Structure 1
Amino acid sequence: MDVDALLGPTRSPGTPEVRAILATTLFGSLTRGGTSGPLGNANDAALLARLRDWADCVLVGAGTVRAEGYGYCPTPIAVATTSLRLDPASTLFDGAVLILCPDASLHDATLAPRRDQLRAAGADIVGTGSGSAAEILRALRARGHARVSCEGGPSLYSALLAEDLVDVLHVTVDPSVSGEDGPAGVGYRGQLRRFALEEARADEDSMLFCRYRRLRGGAAD
């Protein structure tokens, strides 16, 4: 599978662009047995890696970091969290890590030990105002991270979609179902958002790789 073809056209370096990537079962579940690991295949993993190469940073929620066992990544990782509940001994901190938290968490005295541990592990902790998706992206762009690849989880996808901040959506459809599949969808409660199909390719495993671009004013953005 040509992962550059799956990545598709990109904006010039330094131009803000947000992409989100996810794998789903035939009936819309994003997890199997509690994680996304069993979904997708080697081509899906290659696309994820290619997006990380493209991105200035990877944006991910702390719950996904914990559930998926995130470790070292050569691309800087920005972790959105309110609790700052991350393992400072994780190999995640062998790379560049930015912790994005609401100002309330940044100044909460009860969270001071966690902040100290994460800073000692090498993380940079940044306040994001109320913690909205727009404020998270502003914090990233203020640090030179224009190209952002979001890897979830569902609440972060929903927040970005609700504020119409996802430019390109990469969806891998795994042609399977299982009794271990989690709830379908991302729990989105925002207004209607529409995307245009830009690319669809299937591989030898019948995995379907779709790339959608945001629609604005009836045309792809």
Structure 2
Amino acid sequence: MNSDISDATVASILGPEHPVGTPEVRMIFVSSINGEAAVAGTSEALGNATDFQVLLGARAWADVVMVGAGTVRAENYGGVRLDEATQRARRARGQAPVPPLAVVGRTLDFASDSRVVADYHVPPLFLRLPGGPAPAPALASESIIELDSLTASECLARLREAGFARILCEGGPTLYSKLMAEDCVDVVHWTLDPSFVYPQRVPVFPMADREEGTAPLRHRFELRSATPCEDGVLFLRYDRLR
């Protein structure tokens, strides 16, 4: 299979969809074969052109895109942008034309020219703890949601209260680990890049904070699809076994 694949194949990689309004959490990431999430600090060197098309497809599915503040800084995230045809399709099935970003972080110290506060179609949301460092002046107060904790479950609950059923998490590793540790993930989209990256500085799933002596976690997933490309990149989809 070529690295440039059809819309039908992208849809096959992403898998079937529940009706709009059905709560679901999907996680999407790219890694090396030894689980490294970044090369020289970003994920840009991993994956291929198809990987970006799959990411766009996942964003077209989502009601909101959740990202950790550290990843927003490292990757210089801007808001989600979708083409006109995709926006029309979303309207037709009862979704907003473009999903907002929901940025999760203790510190929201973004520069005024950061893309997250200067380049977007839909204003982003920011989830933070009350009483922390003052957010950047560029952030509108109405875009800030204060939480009692930054657990994955509370972040998801507040997003659902705001009307977002389909939640896509794009990273980073700390947020991935929280979601997995709290068993909040329904679907995993994993792009496996055929490279070994050493030293491993940014594992996809770093050790989550847990009390010493607690029992190991094991959440079982079922492989639903595996789509290879000629360049060795492999697209995997796993569904949580409930």
TM-score normalised by the chain length of structure 2: 0.80
**What corresponds to 1:100 in structure 2?**
127
Report the counterpart of residue 104 of structure 2 in structure 1: 80
Kindly state the Cα deviation for residue 88 of structure 1 after the two structures are TM-superposed.
3.2
Name which of 199, 213, 217 aligns with 1:191: 217
Uncovered stretches (5+) of structure 1, i.e. residues with no partner: 217-221
2:139 matched to 1:118?
yes
Superposed CA deviations along residues 86-122 of structure 1, whole A, max 9, x for unmatched, are 23322323332000012xxx234xx33x2543117xx
Q: Do the aligned residues in 2 keep the contact of 1:56 with 1:76 (CA within 8 Å)?
A: yes
Report the equivalent of 1:162. Answer: 181
How much has 1:12 moved relative to structure 2?
A: 0.9
The aligned residue for residue 128 of structure 1 is 147
Per the TM alignment, residue 37 of structure 1 is displaced from its structure 2 partner at its CA by 0.9
| Post-superposition offset of 1:178 | 3.8
State yes or no: 1:51 paired with 2:58.
yes
Deviation at 1:83, TM superposition (A): 1.1
The amino acid that maps onto 2:145 is: V
Over 3 Å counting, the alpha-carbon distance change for 1:70 and 1:180 in structure 2 is farther
Q: Determine what percentage of the aligned residue pairs are the same residue.
A: 43
- Which residue, 4, 12, 15 being the options, matches 1:5? 12
In 2, are the aligned partners of 1:62 and 1:85 still within 8 Å (CA)? no
Aligned partner (choices 10, 14, 26) of residue 19 of structure 1:
26
In structure 2, the CA distance between the partners of 1:69 and 1:183, relative to structure 1 (3 Å rule), is: closer
Specify which structure has the higher proportion of strand.
1
Aligned with 1:117: secondary structure?
Answer: coil
Equivalents in 2 of 1:44, 1:117: separation in Å?
32
What is the CA RMSD across the aligned residues, in angstroms? Answer: 1.7
Question: Is the CA contact 1:115–1:125 (under 8 Å) kept in the aligned structure 2?
Answer: no
AA of the residue aligned to 2:150: G
Residue 173 of structure 2 corresponds to residue 147 of structure 1: no
Contact 2:127 2:146 in 1 (8 A): yes
Shift of 1:184: 3.6
Number of equivalences: 208
Structure 1 runs of 4+ aligned residues shifted over 6 Å read none
Distance (whole Å) between structure 1 residues aligned to residue 19 and residue 207 of structure 2: 30
| 5+ residue gaps, structure 2 | 82-98, 209-215
